[in-house]
Structure 1
Amino acid sequence: MPSYGVSLLSGGLDSTTVTVLAKEKTDHLTALTFHYGQSHSKEVDCAAAVARSIGVPQELLDISFLGKVAWYSALTNPERFPVPEDRDAARMGNSIPITYVPLRNTIFLSLAAAYLESQALHAIEMEGLSPSDVQAHIYMAPNAIDYSGYPDCRPEFFQKMGESLGYGSKLWTEYHVPLQIELPIIEMSKADIVRLGMKLQAP
Structure 2
Amino acid sequence: MAENMAENATNTDNNKVVVIYSGGMDSFTVLNRAIKDGKQVYALTFDYGQKHVKEIEYAANVCKELNIPHKVIDISAINQLLGGSSLTDDIDIPEGHYEEESMKSTVVPNRNMILLSLAVGYAVSREASQVYYGAHSGDHAIYPDCRPEFVLKMNDVCQIANYQPVEIYSPYLTDSKIDILTDGISMELDYSKSWTCYNGREKACGQCGACQERLEAFRENDLVDPLEYE
TM range (shorter): 0.7 to 0.9
Report the counterpart of residue 117 of structure 1 in structure 2.
124
* Contact 1:6–1:139 under 8 Å retained in 2: yes
Q: Shift of the alpha carbon at 1:50?
A: 1.6
If the length of structure 2 is used for normalisation, what is the TM-score? 0.72
Q: Shift of the alpha carbon at 1:193?
A: 1.4
Matched, 1:61 2:73: yes
Report the counterpart of residue 112 of structure 2 in structure 1.
105
Which secondary structure state, in structure 1, belongs to the residue aligned with residue 104 of structure 2?
coil
Which secondary structure state, in structure 1, belongs to the residue aligned with residue 159 of structure 2?
helix
Distance 1:143 1:2, change over 3 A: closer
* Contact 1:145–1:189 under 8 Å retained in 2: yes
Q: Shift of the alpha carbon at 1:26?
A: 4.5
Q: What are the within-5 Å matches in structure 2 for residues 25-174 of structure 1?
A: 25-77=37-89, 79=90, 81-89=91-99, 91-92=100-101, 97-120=104-127, 136-171=129-164
Which secondary structure state, in structure 1, belongs to the residue aligned with residue 19 of structure 2?
strand
How many aligned residue pairs are there?
Answer: 178
If the length of structure 1 is used for normalisation, what is the TM-score? 0.81
C-alpha distance in 1 between matches for 2:39 and 2:169? 15
Distance 1:5 1:195, change over 3 A: same
Runs of 4+ residues over 6 Å off in structure 1: none
C-alpha distance in 1 between matches for 2:145 and 2:39? 28
Report the counterpart of residue 194 of structure 1 in structure 2.
181
Q: Shift of the alpha carbon at 1:192?
A: 1.5
Could you list the runs of 5+ residues in structure 1 that have no partner in the other structure?
121-134, 172-177
Could you list the runs of 5+ residues in structure 2 that have no partner in the other structure?
1-12, 191-230
Q: Shift of the alpha carbon at 1:88?
A: 4.7
C-alpha distance in 2 between matches for 1:24 and 1:6? 14
Distance 1:68 1:202, change over 3 A: farther
Q: What are the within-5 Å matches in structure 2 for residues 170-181 of structure 1?
A: 170-171=163-164, 178-181=165-168
Which secondary structure state, in structure 1, belongs to the residue aligned with residue 123 of structure 2?
helix
Q: Percent identity?
A: 36
Q: Which amino acid aligns with 2:151?
A: F
C-alpha distance in 2 between matches for 1:141 and 1:196? 13
Which secondary structure state, in structure 2, belongs to the residue aligned with residue 11 of structure 1?
coil
Q: Which amino acid aligns with 1:83?
A: I
C-alpha distance in 1 between matches for 2:86 and 2:32? 29
Report the counterpart of residue 34 of structure 2 in structure 1.
22
Q: Shift of the alpha carbon at 1:2?
A: 4.3
Root-mean-square deviation (Å): 1.8
Q: Shift of the alpha carbon at 1:43?
A: 0.5
